Structure 1
């Protein structure tokens, strides 16, 4: 049984797609073929299954989307046969997959990593209407769907009156607790990992560092990086804030384990952020470092259930909450983080994927 997986990125750092492909390929039933593109470059990578990346000539994202739709459609037609399951990741791959699924009469699984039409980058723009039209046309026709948070599943279920999607959360593989609590950082380290986009709280965090006795490490890249570097310089905080750039997953895991607190402090600017369970929270938990998170539905569950850190209702309390967690120290949260790590791990999500694909196979072949 062939599974053709498609996603709009260069594949290197998309850990969700990598884990899903690995889970299915190791099941022994499915032959995986993964399709991405060269948006963001063509870094070297090796996988245990065939990988291809479509070459896009467009330099502007909206044109790249259009180019990708056509090229992906042709690639899928070349690659798929009647013994194929299509796996479309996010709305920006859905149209070609849907058309090929209908044309060849083969099943399609849609994995929505976010609520694409409610992303801050689309809010209030004309392109939001285009994507919403596409979403409202295809999603109600999708028979098999999974998504990345309980709140996302509820939203799709209520908005499009479809069966509730299977929830497969993007947790990391379970890790042993390797923290050495006798080795203390001086100064202590605050970690933000992820894309440097608007509405991630970084423009509030950087000024707050003036009153926090610690270093801030920002692991990631993105469109606001230069702006935030300039903000850091203007506030004369270069000695307290380090921009580490985009790191491969293995290096990022090393960095994460050294931190004293991990942050996920998104702003409420669109339902996709508000209902998200960011990957970095479970990454922090597996590394056994406490967290400070926005008081949003999915994020607050982690803190409320396991007491692994603090929530912020607004940014005025950001410095206070970070300082409290730093003063408590990592060992204070050890037992809570160990319990949370048992729950927030990929091993608990894998059976949901294999069950969904067994259902697809049983109902279509």
Structure 2
């Protein structure tokens, strides 16, 4: 009989490519998988996955009341289920999943997608930050298996919560066809439009860059960015693409010439992060502009897939982008490095580490 695992997230399942990838792998390995997430008014119908799904609707959509309501609803749903393993994804599901796992006698898995208490959204909000750290300190030691997305975040979490963390990087599966080098003068950003991602800075830099900037995704500062584009009269250069279905992302990235992976150094979570988009760009054969942070620096030493920058100054971003756009030999060298790197940094190589943890 296959073992049953229930994984829980607070976001809409359809946009969580890491969890879709993980749950698909677990299903293929013989687990009976259920992924629980959130249902929004704007949620699109879910495609058919090789695992079960459950969406929870809430009256509140943000802030403390949302997290409280979601965790209450999640707890009561989970405790009615039979499972061998229960997985909490990030701190915002940890309390409910921990209580429910203990109630039904399931092993408890914790997947930290980021260093939650150090994200820029909590900067200057010490009371909220302390709350999440208390949730973590009370519940992380109770978990049976713990993993995160990067070596540096694993070390920080181990130091703070005195619990060992494994690393399961969020790398894509290999596409059948190798990405072409024929590209348009397009710069692309993939991800949530949130504070601390260098979005305002790259928009301002576009005044001096002969290319279009495509923004793939939605987020908290989207309306502020639209106002900035209006103010600077950059409508012809900045294209808000909105939500792109996961199955279409690779083909969109393969049209572009530069990927953007910029982060604010004031956030410790960002400084030690390893963003999903880093590997998405690599798999699209797409040279990227990223921060000279520890994880990116180390990976770039293995395969020179990125141009690293030390700051978000306009002159820095303009120079780096224009160099990639104007020097085709320079661009092609990095593109070729991406094609080699994708063979190493792929889910086919990474997934065994996840399966070993859960055996």
CA distance in 2, matches of 1:2, 1:137: 26
Task: Note the C-alpha offset of 1:59.
Answer: 3.4
Task: Note the C-alpha offset of 1:162.
Answer: 1.6
Residue 204 of structure 1 corresponds to 201
The gaps in structure 1 that reach 5 residues or longer are 359-365
Residue 66 of structure 1 corresponds to 68
Against the structure 1 CA distance between its residues 72 and 319, is the aligned structure 2 distance closer, same or farther, given a 3 Å change threshold?
Answer: same
Residue 253 of structure 1 corresponds to 250
1:137-152 pair list within 5 angstroms: 137-152=138-153
Q: TM-score, normalised by structure 1?
A: 0.92
Worse overlay, 168-177 or 19-28: 168-177
The gaps in structure 2 that reach 5 residues or longer are none
CA deviation map 1:27-52 (0-9, x unaligned): 12x11111112146331112222211
Residue 220 of structure 2 corresponds to 223
Contact 1:177 1:287 in 2 (8 A): no
CA distance in 2, matches of 1:313, 1:6: 36
CA distance in 2, matches of 1:128, 1:180: 45
Q: TM-score, normalised by structure 2?
A: 0.94
Residue 77 of structure 1 corresponds to 79
1:128-143 pair list within 5 angstroms: 128-143=129-144
CA distance in 2, matches of 1:307, 1:118: 29
Task: Note the C-alpha offset of 1:252.
Answer: 2.0
Residue 192 of structure 2 corresponds to 195
Task: Note the C-alpha offset of 1:285.
Answer: 0.3
CA distance in 2, matches of 1:342, 1:312: 25
Equivalent residue pairs, number: 351
CA distance in 2, matches of 1:137, 1:345: 34
Tell me the SS of whatever aligns to 1:349: helix
Task: Note the C-alpha offset of 1:184.
Answer: 4.5
CA distance in 2, matches of 1:324, 1:242: 22
Runs of 4+ in 1 over 3 A off after TM superposition: 176-181
Residue 35 of structure 1 corresponds to 36
CA distance in 1, matches of 2:177, 2:285: 6
CA deviation map 1:300-322 (0-9, x unaligned): 22323211231010123111111
Tell me the SS of whatever aligns to 1:315: coil
1:84-103 pair list within 5 angstroms: 84-103=84-103
Contact 1:10 1:41 in 2 (8 A): no
Against the structure 1 CA distance between its residues 153 and 40, is the aligned structure 2 distance closer, same or farther, given a 3 Å change threshold?
Answer: farther
Worse overlay, 16-25 or 309-318: 309-318
CA distance in 2, matches of 1:7, 1:57: 17
Against the structure 1 CA distance between its residues 154 and 24, is the aligned structure 2 distance closer, same or farther, given a 3 Å change threshold?
Answer: same
CA distance in 1, matches of 2:336, 2:249: 24
CA distance in 1, matches of 2:227, 2:43: 29
